[in-house]
Structure 1
Amino acid sequence: MSSLPRNTPDSQGLSAASLDAFVAALDESDQEFHTVTLVRHGVIVLEAEWAPYRLTDRHLLYSVSKSFTSTAIGLAVDAGLFSIDDKVVSFFGPEDLPATISDNLAAMSLRHLLTMSTGHAEDTVQKLQRDDRMVRGFLSLDVEHEPGAPFVYNSGATYMLSAILQKVSGETLLEYLQSRLFEPLGITEATWGSSKEGITFGGWGLSLSTESMAKFGQLLLQHGVWEGKQLVPAEWVEAATAKQVSNAHEGNPDAQQGYGFQFWRGRHNTYRADGAFGQFIIVIPEYDAVLAVTSASSDMQAAQVVFWDHLLPALEGKEVPLVARPERLELPAPTGSVPQAGDGQTYSFGENPGFLQSVRWDADGTGSLTFHTYGPESSEPVSFGPTPGEWRETATATGRIVTSAHGDGEAVVVSVRWLDGPHAVDFTCQVADGQMTVAGQVNVSFAPSEVTIVSE
């Protein structure tokens, strides 16, 4: 079966009107949603996409990746490759281990990596990403507390799970899951980034379509069974999605319900994989349902409040205020005046937080941008203009990108959306004295949301 079956909400005991009201609530929310899929009793009963985003496109999932890494570890444990109580240092040699192994590092096990109770005082990932050898970097860090200490979110711990799996199995995490999970689920589009040392990131970097996210959630809901075959041990699914450690000190109610093996517990007896800026796979066992969402949410707790306020009553069969679903779901392109004429010059930029490599602004108000993210050997120009209020699409080697441009006095404002993830940037470009100044405004980002750069 390459796809989940589809049918009407009524066929699965739900009110179509209440699901329309749920979609309307998402559309009216101050959070930006891109795609939504709801599965009930193993059947897709709701799909929604906000143009120009598409359900069938791959979407960068950020830390949703962690739950797939957990599943790979469960498969490896079942295959007898290791135990989760094995010590982390036992998998590595002198080329990676520090000269002196502290008691806390020596005590750290895979279980501590899985539950993010490694004993580190803070997330290790930023320190690791500065190093071409991230495994050695992780093992060299101080472990301030005894492992098993309180939960501290730690993407570096997940990277180490990926490294250990690769060390023992001889396959990268992506390769390991390809035949054991992705192929049986009919997932063919998966991509997953890797480090300079050739290890799949594990804690981030996986890209999947929304339906593939829903398939994974349905597999979990079915205790690891797919089409009559036990793909993932039921015992692992139960343990991974149960509360293993307390995270009651976290800031929001849906982040305080406990943490499993790279899964979050949630309110209403739910569990989920979630990723930065609102990527969700939420399993709702009480109502035999799975919700898969991609978005660019600036407040993930606020997004979940919308789910609970508007989806939960529909699943419970309660009467809800019926609001018509918009005829067209879209994130409209910005409107404004037509851009004025540019000088046709190409302005280049050094390395910068906006990854902007060059901008050309032509006399007819059109132009193009290139970005450092593609690398100099594969940079592709992304065209913009000249019609405000319309998205202009460029298909690149890395995915679909849309732009829209409008004038702002002597400047041109170019809005760019990378449709393979949550990110969008408004670039305000202005030329003076032979240089171009670009002010960038990012919708969601780990870095500052505003950046100003000047051409070389």
Structure 2
Amino acid sequence: MESYSGFNYGNAEEAQLSEEKLAEMNQKLEQEEAKTCIVYRNGRIIHEYYKHASLRNELQIVNSVTKSVLSLVTGIAADKGFIASTETLLSEYFPELSDDMDGKGNITLKQVLTMTTGIDLPGNKEMLQSEDWLKFIWSRSLRNEPGTKMHYSSADSHILSAVIRKAAGKDASEIAEEYLFSPLGIKDFQWKRDPAGLPVGGWGLKLRSIDMLKIGILALNHGKWKERKLVSERWMGDAVKPHAPSKAPGQHYGYHWWISKSPGGNLPSFFYAAGRGGQYIFIVPEYDLITVFTGNYSGEKESIRPYQLFIQHILRTVKE
């Protein structure tokens, strides 16, 4: 199989992974709605799976992995001085919120990043049917005081996309292309927009699996890519801290990144990007390990299958 240009390859034995377990995982992936998988350790691609050869270079719908990419874009905007502080109030960007009865104007950017705004958006259906998504979000009431609870919501992600445009005078897609994707060598991508032309914050990005790996390598290396700093180490450190506990046991939320704290109590903590349908970028700093999955799983329960396979067939088999 032809190697991706610019990547070194290794094998399971030298990476201290179980070749048998990887083979077992491949058999399961073949029977399920998985599409691709790449395992990377110690600077080398160790294992690849593609259900069809064409998927190797095909753009994948990454769904909510978009959120974690948006976090990187926000970090770039902050590093360049477009965003002064994560404690900046939304009313600074949207003066119309100053008179909001619920106090949405007092929500901080950090609360948007950690999905603790309290804005009640139980699903995306009504927002998708509206002609002005942002206006629809502002019309929603608060389910709790901002900063007190984490509720997973693409409304917060779309607010973040709008903040970037207001603060930087460029939208998230433009900043990503210039300061993130281009340096990473990501030449082919797509980013869906809302009816007003704003890049969708919560989903809508399409990337190749190998380019998802590049995002993972950047995050693993504290924002650095081939000796070039794309995102500050400070931002990356804050982004993958467990700022808010979620409803899922052992899962916390950072700045639009998920954090899993020592699964089962005997495995290292890791952080990850996750999208509906089985899209994942798992990053385990302690093991210098990254695993990418894409899939077409249906439903929330089915979508976590790659998470389970990662734990059982990769993370548990690492020999330090």
Q: Tell me if both proteins adopt one fold, taking TM over 0.5 as the criterion.
A: yes
Deviation at 1:53, TM superposition (A): 5.2
The alignment status of 1:257 with 2:251, answered yes or no, reads yes
| Aligned mates of 1:150, 1:53 — CA distance in 2 | 43
| Aligned mates of 2:319, 2:54 — CA distance in 1 | 30
Higher helix proportion, which one? 2
The alignment status of 1:38 with 2:24, answered yes or no, reads no
The more displaced of 141-150 and 285-294 is: 141-150
The more displaced of 130-139 and 206-215 is: 130-139
| Aligned mates of 2:232, 2:114 — CA distance in 1 | 19
- Say whether the 8 Å CA contact 2:17–2:317 is kept in structure 1: yes
Deviation at 1:103, TM superposition (A): 4.5
Output the amino acid matched with 2:318. L
Partner of 1:55: 56
Evaluate the alpha carbon distance shift between residue 5 and residue 52 of structure 1 in structure 2; reply closer, same or farther with a 3 A threshold: closer
Per-residue CA deviations over 1:337-381 (Å, capped at 9, x if unaligned) read xxxxxxxxxxxxxxxxxxxxxxxxxxxxxxxxxxxxxxxxxxxxx
- Say whether the 8 Å CA contact 2:280–2:306 is kept in structure 1: no
Per-residue CA deviations over 1:275-296 (Å, capped at 9, x if unaligned) read 0111000112221110000012
Partner of 1:215: 214
In the TM superposition, what are the counterparts of 1:371-390 in structure 2 within 5 Å? none
Deviation at 1:127, TM superposition (A): 3.2
Deviation at 1:22, TM superposition (A): 2.9
| Aligned mates of 1:26, 1:307 — CA distance in 2 | 11
Deviation at 1:220, TM superposition (A): 0.7
The alignment status of 1:157 with 2:156, answered yes or no, reads yes
| Aligned mates of 2:54, 2:294 — CA distance in 1 | 10
Deviation at 1:15, TM superposition (A): 4.6
Output the amino acid matched with 2:285. P
Partner of 2:278: 278
Identity %: 28
Structure 1: state its 5+ residue gaps.
318-456
SS at structure 1 position matched to 2:255: coil
Higher strand proportion, which one? 1
Partner of 1:87: 89
RMSD: 2.0
Output the amino acid matched with 1:87. L
Partner of 1:7: 10
Structure 2: state its 5+ residue gaps.
none
SS at structure 2 position matched to 1:293: strand
SS at structure 1 position matched to 2:174: helix
Answer 1 or 2: higher relative contact order, Cα 8 Å, separation at least 6.
Answer: 2
In the TM superposition, what are the counterparts of 1:327-342 in structure 2 within 5 Å? none
In the TM superposition, what are the counterparts of 1:422-437 in structure 2 within 5 Å? none
Deviation at 1:303, TM superposition (A): 3.1
Partner of 1:146: 145
Deviation at 1:7, TM superposition (A): 2.7
| Aligned mates of 2:176, 2:73 — CA distance in 1 | 6
| Aligned mates of 1:2, 1:105 — CA distance in 2 | 48
Deviation at 1:2, TM superposition (A): 5.7
Among candidates 296, 302, 305, match of residue 302 of structure 1: 305
| Aligned mates of 1:280, 1:56 — CA distance in 2 | 17
The more displaced of 139-148 and 197-206 is: 139-148
| Aligned mates of 1:206, 1:301 — CA distance in 2 | 20
Among candidates 23, 26, 30, match of residue 23 of structure 1: 26
Per-residue CA deviations over 1:183-234 (Å, capped at 9, x if unaligned) read 1111111110001111000210000000000111111111111111111111
Partner of 1:186: 185
The more displaced of 135-144 and 18-27 is: 18-27
Deviation at 1:12, TM superposition (A): 3.1
- Say whether the 8 Å CA contact 1:272–1:281 is kept in structure 2: yes
* TM-score for both structures, normalised by structure 2: 0.89
Per-residue CA deviations over 1:397-426 (Å, capped at 9, x if unaligned) read xxxxxxxxxxxxxxxxxxxxxxxxxxxxxx
- Say whether the 8 Å CA contact 1:124–1:138 is kept in structure 2: no
| Aligned mates of 2:186, 2:13 — CA distance in 1 | 28
